[in-house]
């Protein structure tokens, strides 16, 4: 089986500020272990996909750091988009850059900023998906068995029939981020999976879907192929749209493989708290931290030392020139600090 | 009036960790304004005492930093004790180093790590004390009018008669740190002052008291005078005792001048909170700090930036390689963190 991985590493975000910054988004952070999320994404593929079949899509701003973090990957397979235009252009453009052989084979599109606790289970599912996508010429979404009624994710709704001979199930439809009651119904139904943004397909099949469902994008890519010298200019004119919206939600034939591999999108400091191991007082620590009479805090010192006394349920982060302190249950509100810093012109901190 | 100031700058402590460290005790910190407490101590004397009459007593470990902070003071008047032996040896030894003329004149012994809000009131009292000490040959304690029933200070108990012609009142006795009820009684009585460790005397008078009440110390100083080459060795053998215990508590004739000058010993991060000006949300800030939906915190960033959200009543300090977070009402417990760091051998942080 010729199987290729395309890792999307062009994202940015503020949820892990101050550890994450504009030039240092979440995929570049070693939140849990010694390896960054990007490095861990490559590491867990290697037993299944050789390095010469791993491609990275990132941005011009981030490409130098991607190369630094992944010295084993040849730099011609680390693609820098001229500018960020969301995932549909990024994926289609990368497929266009691949050699014909790779494009005709199975391709897995994978985010670079998620956690996967059980790499063996992940690879087993991925291997099934590679085979299923090639055998059926369908797009296969790796959907995650929901572990709670999350309102922050989209869901894949399965049909009521079982798996086919390849182990694939059919997706009836995409469901947008639900409200609490709907999410609870989804989880109770046993017929909904979290959309984790992981897809496997034959490259040529996906490009055919792009031609059908996103003709403007297909035309733009054709224009780039015809005039490579104008690539940056033409790329900037591609419609900025996600692959979910441009293609996946429109497919009748979308298949899925339910995945149970300790997946977590690590969407906030609170999510990191939940995956780290507690000490005797329930504190989770990364780096040097001293806790006296303090419980259930997340203490992250990228450098230096954090000392806390008599506090409970806080997030305390020391990263570079900044310190963050907020209650764990308000970890989602980090963006309000980032917005304040933007408003105050403190771009040096972003 | 020949008046000399002897500033004690050899102290160390942990109450302002992580801003204060072994090599950087509290007197070296600019806690409130742009000037350090030591610099502010000198600044407020200058209108009354010229720089050539200001002496500093410190330790060999700290003397370089004292010189750096006080470039206007001639280094021969910045005395480095061979080792720390508490205040009685430090003061008596410094008096011995002074020229005869200074020793025969009035000398004020002053701590270097306190706050004085009203420098004019302080200098007015000090000037009175200089005159009173010379006129009466008595030791004059500058006692602070108590503003609350503090249990962390010693008190000076006044006799019931009024002030004499120099404005001095007689101290009946020293009172050790009282319990809460006693402290409340002291404050209500109107006859008790906080002992702020500030004393004014004719130098020769104090040395005579040392000979009488602390003969072992006097003998040791005489030995040093006789054999200057053995100074370090002999100094280390002096009895390590405070001037209060060695001399002041034993005097029948101790006088005092009540002082109302915004004095604060700045005994904790909470004390600093109380003297800084609040922003609209009651936060007190030093350095760069961003507070979103956060109230009544003390935010001290010696470098870099502190960002807090949704927290109340915390102390957050970023200093050097360390971050401290604890509730304001537990600010006194910083020493528990320092003890933990000592126990863990983290001397680099102390």
pLDDT in tens, chain A (350 residues): 789 999 999 998 889 999 999 999 999 999 999 999 999 999 999 999 999 999 999 999 999 999 999 999 999 999 999 999 999 999 999 999 999 999 999 999 999 999 999 999 999 999 999 999 999 999 999 999 999 999 999 999 999 888 888 889 999 999 989 999 999 999 999 999 999 999 999 999 999 999 999 999 999 999 999 999 999 999 999 999 999 999 999 999 999 999 999 999 999 999 999 999 999 999 999 999 999 999 999 999 999 999 999 999 999 999 999 999 999 999 999 999 999 999 999 999 99
A308: tokens are 């806390």
- The SS3 call for residue A223 is helix
Confidence of residue B165 (pLDDT cuts 50, 70, 90): confident
Q: Which of A310, A326, A336 sits opposite B326 (nearest CB)?
A: A310
How high is the pLDDT of residue B161? Answer: 87
- The answer to whether the Cβ–Cβ distance between A310 and B327 falls below 8 Å is yes
pLDDT mean across residues, chain B: 96
Using the predicted structure, report yes or no on whether residue B261 has a pLDDT greater than 80. Answer: yes
Using the predicted structure, report yes or no on whether residue B247 has a pLDDT greater than 90. Answer: yes
User: Between these two residues, B121 and A14, which has the higher pLDDT value?
Assistant: B121
How high is the pLDDT of residue A161? Answer: 87
Residue A278: DSSP 8-state: P
- The answer to whether the Cβ–Cβ distance between B290 and A340 falls below 8 Å is yes
**A301 vs A135: CA distance, rounded Å:** 48
How high is the pLDDT of residue B162? Answer: 85
pLDDT tens for each residue of B321-342: 999 999 999 999 999 999 999 9
How high is the pLDDT of residue A163? Answer: 87
- The answer to whether the Cβ–Cβ distance between A349 and B305 falls below 8 Å is yes
How high is the pLDDT of residue B78? Answer: 98
How high is the pLDDT of residue A136? Answer: 94
pLDDT tens for each residue of B191-229: 999 999 999 999 999 999 999 999 999 999 999 999 999
How high is the pLDDT of residue B220? Answer: 97
Question: Whole-model pTM?
Answer: 0.92
Can you give chain B as a three-state secondary structure string? CCEEEEEECCCCCCCCCCCCECCECHHHCCCCCCCCHHHHHHHHHCCCCCHHHEEEEEECCCHHHHHHHCCCCCHHHEEEECCCCCHHHHHHHHHHHCCHHHHHCEEEEEECCCEECCHHHHHHHHHHHHHHHHHHCCCEEEEECCCCCCCCCCEEEECCCCCCCCCCEEEEEEECCCCHHHHHHHHHHCCEEEEEEEEEEEHHHHHHHHHHHCHHHHHHHHHHHHCHHHHHHHHCCCCCCCHHHHCHHHCCCCEEEEECCCEECCCCHHHHHHHCCCCCCCCEEEEEEEEECCECCEEEEEEEEEEEECCECEEEEEECCEEEEEEHHHHHHHHHHHHHHHHCCCHHHC
- The DSSP H or E segment spanning A125 is helix A119-136
- Partners of A306 on chain B (C-beta within 8 Å) are 322-323, 325
pLDDT tens for each residue of B49-89: 999 999 999 999 999 999 999 999 999 999 999 999 999 99
Q: Which of B292, B318, B346 sits opposite A323 (nearest CB)?
A: B318
Neighbours of B103 (CB within 10 A): 20
- Partners of B307 on chain A (C-beta within 8 Å) are 18, 322-325, 337, 340-341
Neighbours of A36 (CB within 10 A): 22
How high is the pLDDT of residue B1? Answer: 75
How high is the pLDDT of residue A162? Answer: 85
pLDDT > 90: percent of chain B: 95
CA distance, residue B337 to nearest chain A CA (Å): 7
Report, as an integer, the average pLDDT of B170-194: 95
- The answer to whether the Cβ–Cβ distance between B307 and A333 falls below 8 Å is no
Give the residue among A217, A197, A251, A10 at the shortest CA–CA distance from A93. Answer: A217
Q: Which of A303, A311, A324 sits opposite B307 (nearest CB)?
A: A324
How high is the pLDDT of residue A167? Answer: 84
Pairs of CB atoms within 8 A across A/B = 112
């Amino acid at each position: 089986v010729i199987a290729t991985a395309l890792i999307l590493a062009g994202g940015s975000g503020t949820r892990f500020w101050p550890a994450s910054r504009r030039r240092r988004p979440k995929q570049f952070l070693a939140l849990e272990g010694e390896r960054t999320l990007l490095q861990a994404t490559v590491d867990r593929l290697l037993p299944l996909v050789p390095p010469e079949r791993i491609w990275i899509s990132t941005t011009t701003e981030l490409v130098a750091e991607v190369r630094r973090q992944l010295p084993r990957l040849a730099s011609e397979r680390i693609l820098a988009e001229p500018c960020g235009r969301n995932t549909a252009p990024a994926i289609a453009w990368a497929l266009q850059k691949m050699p014909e052989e790779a494009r005709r084979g199975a391709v897995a599109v994978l985010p670079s900023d998620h956690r996967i606790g059980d790499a063996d289970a992940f690879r087993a599912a991925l291997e099934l998906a590679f085979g299923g996508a090639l055998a059926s010429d369908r797009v296969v979404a790796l959907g995650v068995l929901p572990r709670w009624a999350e309102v922050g994710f989209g869901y894949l709704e399965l049909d009521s029939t079982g798996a086919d001979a390849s182990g694939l199930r059919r997706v009836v439809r995409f469901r947008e981020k639900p409200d609490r009651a709907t999410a609870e119904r989804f989880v109770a139904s046993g017929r909904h999976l979290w959309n984790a943004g992981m897809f496997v397909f034959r490259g040529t099949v996906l490009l055919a879907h792009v031609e059908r469902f996103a003709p403007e994008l297909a035309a733009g890519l054709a224009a780039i192929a015809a005039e490579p010298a104008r690539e940056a200019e033409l790329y900037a004119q591609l419609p900025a749209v996600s692959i979910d919206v441009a293609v996946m939600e429109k497919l009748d034939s979308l298949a899925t493989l339910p995945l149970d591999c300790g997946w977590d999108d690590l969407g906030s400091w609170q999510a990191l708290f939940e995956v780290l191991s507690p000490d005797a007082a329930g504190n989770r620590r990364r780096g040097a931290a001293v806790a006296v009479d303090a419980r259930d805090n997340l203490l992250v010192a990228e450098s230096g030392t954090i000392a806390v006394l008599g506090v409970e349920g806080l997030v305390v982060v020391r990263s570079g020139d900044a310190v963050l302190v907020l209650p764990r249950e308000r970890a989602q509100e980090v963006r309000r600090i980032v917005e304040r810093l933007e408003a105050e012109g403190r771009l040096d901190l972003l």
